[in-house]
Amino acid sequence: MSTLLSPETPAYAVPEANLVPVSNHLGSMLAIPPSRMFLINKSLKVFQEKQPGVPVFDASQGDGGASLPGVPEALLDRAFELQKQHGTAYDMPFGTDAYRKAVAEQYWKLAPETGWGPANVIGTQGGRDGLVKAYQAMLALGHGRQGDVIVVSRVPWISYNWGPYGIGANVMWAPGRPEEAWSYSEEGIQACVDEAAKQGRKVAGLVITSPDNPTGQTLTLERQIALGRAALEAGVAFVLYDWMYHAVTDGGMTDVNALLLAFEPALRNRIMVLDGITKCLGGSNIRNCHLLAPEAVVKMIVAQASHTVIPSFFSLAVAMAAYEKGLLNAAAPIIEPTRASRAWLKAYLKEQGLTHIIGQGYYAFIKVADSLAAKGWADSEPMGQYLAENHGVAIVPGAFFSPYGGEWVRFSYATPRERTQGAAERLVAALNDLKK
Which range (56-65, 126-135, 192-201, 306-315) has the least confidence?
56-65
pLDDT tens sequence across 74-112: 999 999 999 999 999 999 999 999 999 999 999 999 999
Q: What pLDDT, on a 0 to 100 scale, did the predictor assign at position 107? A: 98
pTM reported for the whole predicted model: 0.96
Q: Does residue 187 have a pLDDT over 80?
A: yes
Q: What is the rounded distance in angstroms from the CA atom of residue 294 to the CA atom of residue 296?
A: 6
For the structural domain made of 73-328, what CATH number should be given?
3.40.640.10
Q: What pLDDT, on a 0 to 100 scale, did the predictor assign at position 239? A: 98
Among residues 172, 177, 167, which one has the least CA distance to residue 194? 172
Q: What pLDDT, on a 0 to 100 scale, did the predictor assign at position 266? A: 96
Calculate the dihedral angle through the C-alpha atoms of 101, 102, 104, 107, rounding to the nearest 10 degrees: 170
Q: How many residues are present in the chain?
A: 436
pLDDT tens sequence across 1-11: 457 888 888 98
pLDDT tens sequence across 241-294: 999 999 999 999 999 999 999 999 999 999 999 999 999 999 999 999 999 999
Band of residue 354 on the pLDDT scale cut at 50, 70, 90: very high
Q: Does residue 154 have a pLDDT over 90?
A: yes
Q: What pLDDT, on a 0 to 100 scale, did the predictor assign at position 43? A: 86
Q: What pLDDT, on a 0 to 100 scale, did the predictor assign at position 253? A: 96
pLDDT tens sequence across 157-181: 999 999 999 999 999 999 999 999 9
Q: What pLDDT, on a 0 to 100 scale, did the predictor assign at position 2? A: 59
Q: What is the rounded distance in angstroms from the CA atom of residue 327 to the CA atom of residue 340?
A: 19
3-state secondary structure of 175: coil
- Strands (E) across 312-387 are located at 356-357, 363-367
pLDDT tens sequence across 296-322: 999 999 999 999 999 999 999 999 999
Which range (38-52, 85-99, 214-228, 353-367) has the least confidence?
38-52
The ranges assigned to domains in the chain are: 40-62+331-434, 73-328
Q: Does residue 414 have a pLDDT over 80?
A: yes
Q: Does residue 425 have a pLDDT over 80?
A: yes
For the structural domain made of 40-62+331-434, what CATH number should be given?
3.90.1150.10
The answer to whether 337 and 68 are in contact (CB under 8 A) is yes
Could you check whether 40-62+331-434 and 73-328 share the same CATH topology?
no
Q: Does residue 183 have a pLDDT over 70?
A: yes
Q: What is the rounded distance in angstroms from the CA atom of residue 170 to the CA atom of residue 358?
A: 29
Burial of 436 (0-12, 13-18, 19+ CB in 10 A): exposed
Helix axes 221-233, 186-198, angle to 10 degrees: 30
pLDDT tens sequence across 112-122: 999 999 999 99
Alpha helices in 220-309 (DSSP H): 221-233, 256-261, 265-268, 295-305
The answer to whether 211 and 360 are in contact (CB under 8 A) is yes
Q: What percent of the chain has pLDDT over 70?
A: 99
Q: What is the rounded distance in angstroms from the CA atom of residue 194 to the CA atom of residue 192?
A: 5
Q: What pLDDT, on a 0 to 100 scale, did the predictor assign at position 166? A: 96
Among residues 149, 140, 104, 107, which one has the least CA distance to residue 122? 104
